[in-house]
Amino acid sequence: MVYFCDMDARLNIVTLIAFLLLGSAAAYAQSPQKPRALHEKPKKVHLTSMTIYQGDTIPYVKLPTVYIFKPLVFKNRRERMRYNKLVRDVKKVLPLANEVNRAIIETYEYLMTLPDDKARQRHLKAVEKSIKEQYTPRMKKLTFSQGKLLIKLVDRQTNSTGYELVKAFLGPFRAGFYQAFAALFGASLKKEYDPTGEDAMTERVILLVQSGAI
């Protein structure tokens, strides 16, 4: 089943953020300014977002999540090199998986504005052509292991396997074709991401990369 973000919820969040930012700026702009004494140093002012908690308006600051893991102990140089390669691969492939997620959401939202199935199918064909032209040169630069990692990260970011996504947008026949093509190279579009199992180390690296720790 393909997972899509709720567009109304996204708009509400954006509206709330805009209100908080504008509210904090307006409150500062309209606050009475005391005359500054001669030679008095200007006071430092830090603007921040606000939120209402139990009827009181308080500053709201979102702090980045800090992940703490047990230090890695490598048995040998080969294990260390394998880990370093995983870090490089995640940094290269994760942005692509994020782009795929955004493209899916945007495509789905636009499809909902089209009048009928014929118009939607026509748009999907145009999207498929555009994706091939845009991503084929970039995909050719990926190694085989990076390609397999991308399939898993697409599942992580979209909550749907590559096979499910192709089937939802292009139909079961096209999904079967792409799955068979991937199988020729030892890959599978049905591969799922397992953050607590075989992909636990990958999940650790992703969290550390996203938080800027590595």
Cβ pair 172, 166 in contact under 8 A: no
Please tell me the chain's helix, strand, coil percentages from 3-state DSSP, rounded to the nearest 5.
60, 5, 35
In a domain, 45, yes or no: yes
Most confident residue range from 9-13, 31-35, 52-56: 52-56
- Same-domain pairing of 104 and 203: yes
Domain count, the chain: 2
The three-class DSSP label of residue 204 is helix
pLDDT of residue 39: 59
In a domain, residue 94? The reply is: yes
Sign of the four-CA dihedral 151, 157, 160, 164? negative
pLDDT tens string 60-104 = 888 778 888 899 999 999 999 999 999 999 999 999 999 988 988
Q: For residues 86 and 189, state if they share a domain.
A: yes
For residues 38 and 142, membership in a common domain is answered with no
Q: Evaluate whether residue 24 is within a structural domain.
A: yes
